[in-house]
Chain A
Amino acid sequence: QKEVEQDPGPLSVPEGAIVSLNCTYSNSAFQYFMWYRQYSRKGPELLMYTYSSGNKEDGRFTAQVDKSSKYISLFIRDSQPSDSATYLCAMSPDLNTGFQKLVFGTGTRLLVSP
């Protein structure tokens, strides 16, 4: 079993829809949770970052962490065709060391149609 599980998709939605992307994990030591967005033929770029449990909002994006269930989510409101990309969750037990090793999910491919 992988430490981080993520549905690969693809997830197809019409423009304007609310999108929910999710990851589950098994390592209870994870405390830092990130979402990266990766466009085709590009490297991943950091989208959202949260520490421990709770919610964080940034524009149309909301990240949620439920450590009791070992479950994290990324919600995208009013989705746009430009949101079409692969979304990778990543997590780490400790970012207070220099290494900051991240464990990534496999990524979910999102397609938003006009």
Chain B
Amino acid sequence: GAGVSQSPSNKVTEKGKDVELRCDPISGHTALYWYRQSLGQGLEFLIYFQGNSAPDKSGLPSDRFSAERTGGSVSTLTIQRTQQEDSAVYLCASRPYLTGGQREQYFGPGTRLTVT
């Protein structure tokens, strides 16, 4: 079946511009995560959505970052007034909402953002 998809795959933008990154999770997966992967920094958690619950935004680095998830499916990560330090690969992951034991997070291929 289809995996997690993200668009665009690459985005080059000028400093100060706003960008929107899109994630289409696996159908039926109610949990959705956004991560940022910078060189030498590993995966940094940004935000978590679960169904209709309020998202966990504890990883967002500044108020320039926001995300929404419409209809419990597609999610959009928005970065306002982009800065050069925002350049990174932004990864989305989804998984079924089940408690107890390990539940694999399925990752998309990521969006490579370059701020010039």
- Do chains A and B stick together as partners? yes
User: Chain A: residues with CB nearer than 8 A to chain B?
Assistant: 4, 6, 8, 32, 34, 41-46, 49, 51, 88, 90, 95-107
Flag if A104 contacts B42 (CB, 8 Å): yes
Please give, as numbers and ranges, the residues of chain B lying within 8 Å of A98 by CB-CB distance.
31, 50, 97, 99
Interface code B50-85, partner A: CB below 8 Å = 1, 0 otherwise?
Answer: 100000100000000000000000000000000000
A39: nearest chain-B partner, CB-CB = B109
* Residues B42 and A107 in contact, CB atoms below 8 Å apart: yes
Residue of A nearest to B91 (CB): A43
10 intermolecular pairs with C-beta atoms under 8 Å apart: A41-B110, A49-B102, A88-B43, A95-B100, A98-B31, A100-B105, A102-B105, A104-B35, A106-B41, A106-B42
Chain B's interface size range is 20 to 34
B103 A100 Cβ-Cβ under 8 A: yes
Report Cα–Cα, A34/B107, bound state, in Å.
14
Q: Is B93 an interface residue (CB 8 A)?
A: yes
Contacts of B40 in A (CB 8 A): 8, 106
What separation, in Å, do the CA atoms of A41 and B97 have in the docked complex?
27
> Are B102 and A44 touching (Cβ within 8 A)?
no
Residues in A neighbouring B35, C-beta threshold 8 A: 104
- Contacting pair B48 A101 (CB below 8 A): yes
Q: Which of B43, B50, B56 has the most CB of A within 10 A?
A: B43
Q: Determine whether the beta carbon of B109 is less than 8 Å from that of A41.
A: yes
Closest Cβ neighbor of B103 among chain A residues: A100
Instruction: Return chain B residues, CB-CB under 8 Å to A106.
Output: 40-42
Complex interface: chain A residues within 8 A of B41 (CB): 106
**Residues of chain B from 31 to 50 with CB closer than 8 A to chain A in the complex:** 31, 35, 40-45, 48, 50
A99 to B56, CA, bound (A): 9
State the CA gap A105–B43 with chains docked (Å): 7
Distance (whole angstroms) from the CB of A89 to the closest CB of chain B: 9
Q: Measured between alpha carbons, how far is A41 from B103 in the docked complex, in Å?
A: 24
A44 touches B107 (CB 8 A): yes
B93 → A minimal CB distance (Å): 7
